Amino acid sequence: MTGKLAILGAAGGIGRVLTQHARDDGWDVIALDLPRTLAAHPLDADIPQIPVDIADAASVEAAFADLGPLDGFVNLAGFMSPHQTLADTPVDDFDEVMIGNLRGAFLAARAAAPLLRERRGAMVNVASGLGALSRPGFGPYAAAKAGMISLTKTLALELAPDIRVNVVGPSAIDTEFLTGGAGRHQTTEAPVDLNEIAQLTPLGRVATPEDVAGPILFLLSPRAAFMTGQVLWINGGSFMP
């Protein structure tokens, strides 16, 4: 597959791997991310890089304004909520997670849709297994990702037949995301025990960014031409809905 692909969150842990694999597959990649994340994790100099803050509607609108027609769009943007019970979650923390994950996904999808329609392109959102399999301490993030899954299904219905919209739901991945998110303040330790997760996973290990990049590229490709509104769970067999 060749064409123009915009990746939101391209400088994050999964984003950097996806960007490289997409280029290897022949995509012309445009990278969008927070300015501080682009600065902290430099991408190849020949990749167009556009700073954007998905918490700011005007910033999202400006970032997409000059992209032109797209063949693909991937939304990797988001961050983990502080590990605490819902009863102990301050309203400001809850709102920040919803704005940075669910509201940001809405803004990005709304901006990308007209650009994808011109070329009958494909959109892939990145949610989380927590969007369907809740765990204590991750309430706001899980709720936001469940909302993203629902958002994806609605978009798939409303944008068909011109645009396909799917979502992947990875399990825990050992990147800086677990301690806050690329470009954000990092906590001292991950809120999950990766060794324990590996032991409980049928395939016997924790997911890597490469494990997520492959399914995303599949959903963008003509090989997934009859798939829309679907969730691909990427978890080594630990969750089978």
Residues carrying an active site annotation: 141
What element of type H or E holds 155? helix 139-159
DSSP 31: E
- Rg of the chain on CA atoms, in Å: 17
3-class DSSP state of 91: helix
- Tell which residue, 147, 158, 163, has the closest CA to residue 220: 163
What secondary structure does DSSP assign to 208-237, as a single string? -HHHHHHHHHHHHSGGGTT--S-EEEESTT
What element of type H or E holds 32? strand 27-33
Phi, psi of 5 (to 5 degrees): -125, 125
CB within 8 Å of 35: residues ≥ 6 apart: 51
